[in-house]
Chains A and B, each alone.
Chain A
Amino acid sequence: MKRGYFYLFGFLLLMGFDTLAQVSFKYAGTQALPVAASLAWVLRVFGQPWVYGAVIGYIGAFFTWMSLLKHAPIGPAFAASHLEVVSVMLLSVWLFDEHLTAPRVLGAIAIIAGIVCLGLAESREHVAETGSAQA
């Protein structure tokens, strides 16, 4: 039971860091508009605070991921590490007045189903590789 809480907290933390990174990327990009392949654009990107939110999100996600992988089963961990699309979508409705159009909702459902399949595939492979050692 304790282990269950550890995973749940870990996955939520991972999702939180990933979400922070994506939202920060969006803010950073919007404030650095217009996009140009120039040093001026790069300086605009690094000249406002949001880009550092993205860096913190990335670093936080990296260390959370590495700690989770020590104990968590790889399949669910893989799936959870990509499920930030859900939290990011919901947040962008609230923060950026975006709309959950039918194609976005349908596409998200297909993508999440695909991620779950890939997570299951990882689990099975992992069991196949380590199963003999555990048996």
Chain B
Amino acid sequence: MPAAPAITHLVAGLWLLNVLIDTGGQLAFKAAAGDPHAGDGLARWKHMAARPWLWLGVGCYAIEFLVWIAFLSLIPLSEGVLLGSINIVAIMVAGRFLFGEKLTRLRVAGIVLVTLGVAIVGLGG
């Protein structure tokens, strides 16, 4: 096997798209599930199905499925899954801004370490 090809613009673009869509989907699911007027049981599902958030989340996941396949077909799998770890960070940061979730010191340490790891893999190959 030849050495891994460098990260091209297409790979970088697919990676960025994956992070954006994954975060968008998670936030949409959070908005759907966190609606305090939704009720319980079947009524809750009906309430969610009648509003766009749930479907936005499902749509994001469907697109992400294809984006991720395209992304992985262009780079080694071991590199791809490591680079994909950035999604954890993106969701936590987005949750902080949109839902006011706390960023404790331990969380910040985790976010910094994961970001550092992704940067090492992305820059070093």
Interface residues of A (CB under 8 A from B): 22-23, 25-26, 28-30, 32-33, 35, 41-42, 45, 51, 54, 82, 84-85, 88-89, 92-93, 96-104, 106-118, 120-121, 124-125
Contact = CB atoms under 8 A, between A and B. Distances in A.
B76 A98 contact: yes
Given A29-B70, A35-B10, A117 B106 contact: yes
Contact of A115 (B4, B110, B119, B124): B110
A101 B125 contact: yes
A54 B64 CA distance: 13
Contacts of A88: 77-78, 81
Contacts of A109: 117
Interface in B98-117: 102, 104, 106-107, 109-117
A85 B81 contact: yes
11 contacts: A25-B68, A25-B72, A26-B77, A35-B70, A99-B3, A104-B82, A104-B124, A107-B119, A114-B111, A114-B114, A117-B113
Contact of A22 (B81, B123, B125): B81
B78 A110 contact: no
A110 B116 contact: yes
Contacts of A106: 117, 120, 124
B90 interface: no
Contacts of A93: 78
B104 A124 contact: yes
B6 interface: no
A24 to B, nearest CB: 9
Contacts of B115: 114
A100 B125 CA distance: 10
B4 to A, nearest CB: 8
Contacts of B110: 114-118, 121
Given A32-B73, A35-B10, A35-B73, A98 B78 contact: yes
A111 B85 contact: yes
